[in-house]
Amino acid sequence: MTKKPASSLRTTRKRADALIRSGKLEQAHELYMAACKSHPADAGLWLSLAGLDRRLGRFREAEQRARHVLSTQPDNHSALVEYGAALQAQGRSDEAVVMYRKAIASNPDCSEAHYLLANACLEHGQADLAIEHYRKTIAIKPAHIEALNNLSAILTNRGEVQASMELLRLALKIQPNGYRMRINLARLHVHAGETDKAHKILKRVIHTHPDAAEAHSKYLLCTNYLPNPDPEMLYEEHRQWENRHTKKINHGTKYRNTTGTGRPLRIGYVSPDLRKHSVAYFMEPILTRHDKKRFNITCYADVENPDDTSRRLASLCENWNWTAKLSDEQLCEKIRGDRIDILVDLAGHTGNNRLMAFARKPAPVAASYLGYPNTTGLSAIDYRLTDSIADPPGIADKYYIEKLIRLDNGFLCYQPPGNAPDCARPSRLSRDGIVFGSFNNLA
């Protein structure tokens, strides 16, 4: 006796779901492909296949599956959402927004349409609209972890620390070991000056997620700000990052750089902070004043949302690359292809760093500069540019894996924003009155 079609489909879905849970996406994809051929009118099968295509990075195929459903069911909100997600993954965000809005018009209670629309709004710099749709997502589906987390991140950036913490605590009740939520909660504790609490949270995260290089970097950054940290402990903690995360990386690289004199040195700067950020205030005068006859400058801007500062910095150097969407290996291939002689990291263990790329040694010489107050702990980075005040001779050297290059007149080259007000001269300050100073975070 043959099984009824409905029973057969249920079995197929269960098998596919089990394969997906175990990470066997290709096998699940094959099952759904076969099921779609047997049941070409089943919209749910086509949309499941589209979702798998997206997870496998086959965005055009996902788009085609969704369009196949929409050709017979133009108001199918799930198909509209899937179509929009495939478009957004291809960088066609404006078209995706149209699909999400159609899905919401078809079904106002479609939480995923509101969530993905919020993401698209955020990508377009429309934070208020993003907040509105994240809130709608949560109202429809209170346990939507990603919406809780993303809304918390926006509120954090707006300085609404307590409201952000409440959202993260809600998320952690739903998912107690949530990786991203714990990282963001630690960030909030740092904002509140509660470094000890942040450090404990991050220590737990790297214990439960030992392979998470990003979390480990955040832990190291936080460790710098503990009261009275032991320098030797800090050094050993930083060395552990390399030991834990880079053992499987192939360091053997053949460089295509030509040797000898007579050509400008090719210098590459890598940073996620070439935007309205404190790093930009120190890098702009350097990019402006580089000797173009002796040095050829390339910037690898890992900037997800470029702004006016990014575009101004881009005009100051010969070669500018937007690299936020590149994998570490793709970035290394780009750097090798550009035949960079000296590659400079401007981030250290701060957010969105590229230390996993630096571990692959994509240039003959690597240096750390500006963005991090300690050793990277990475043997692939040869030098650190600093000065005798930040890193006193005879004291600091043993706590760095990099060789310290101390600049004579200080390692910082600060340039205030163009719209900054003039500072009052000492002669204009009243001896009798109260003088106020400001030490704001200009970024």
Domain-by-domain residue ranges, the chain? 5-208, 265-406
Task: Express as a percent the part of the chain with pLDDT over 90.
Answer: 79
Question: In CATH, which of 3.40.50.11380, 3.30.565.10, 3.10.20.30, 1.10.10.60 is domain 265-406?
Answer: 3.40.50.11380
Question: Which band of pLDDT confidence, cut at 50, 70 and 90, is reported for residue 419?
Answer: confident
Mean pLDDT across 187-205? 93
Question: Which band of pLDDT confidence, cut at 50, 70 and 90, is reported for residue 281?
Answer: very high
Judged against a pLDDT cut of 90, whether residue 177 lies above it is answered with no
Residue 77, number of CB atoms within 10 A of its CB: 21
DSSP letter for 366, please: E
438 close to 420: Cβ distance less than 8 angstroms: no
Judged against a pLDDT cut of 80, whether residue 434 lies above it is answered with no
Residue 22, number of CB atoms within 10 A of its CB: 10
Tokens of 132: 């509105």
Judged against a pLDDT cut of 90, whether residue 12 lies above it is answered with no
Q: Fold identical between 5-208 and 265-406?
A: no
As a whole number of angstroms, the distance between CA 175 and CA 191 comes to: 23
Mean pLDDT across 52-65? 94
Mean pLDDT across 207-235? 95
As a whole number of angstroms, the distance between CA 121 and CA 347 comes to: 28
Judged against a pLDDT cut of 60, whether residue 4 lies above it is answered with no
At the second CATH level, the architecture of 5-208 is Alpha Horseshoe (1.25)
Judged against a pLDDT cut of 60, whether residue 106 lies above it is answered with yes
Question: Which band of pLDDT confidence, cut at 50, 70 and 90, is reported for residue 86?
Answer: very high
Question: Which band of pLDDT confidence, cut at 50, 70 and 90, is reported for residue 428?
Answer: low
- pLDDT for position 252: 66
- pLDDT for position 429: 58
Judged against a pLDDT cut of 50, whether residue 225 lies above it is answered with yes
As a whole number of angstroms, the distance between CA 290 and CA 294 comes to: 8
For 201, phi then psi, to 5°, come to -65, -45
Among residues 225, 216, 316, the alpha carbon closest in space to that of 269 is found at 316
Which residue has better confidence, 430 or 42? 42
For helices 111-123 and 93-106, angle between their N-to-C axes, nearest 10 degrees = 150
- pLDDT for position 365: 98
As a whole number of angstroms, the distance between CA 388 and CA 396 comes to: 9
Judged against a pLDDT cut of 90, whether residue 50 lies above it is answered with yes
For helices 5-21 and 25-38, angle between their N-to-C axes, nearest 10 degrees = 160
- Tell the burial category of 85 from Cβ atoms under 10 Å away from its Cβ (0-12, 13-18, 19+): buried
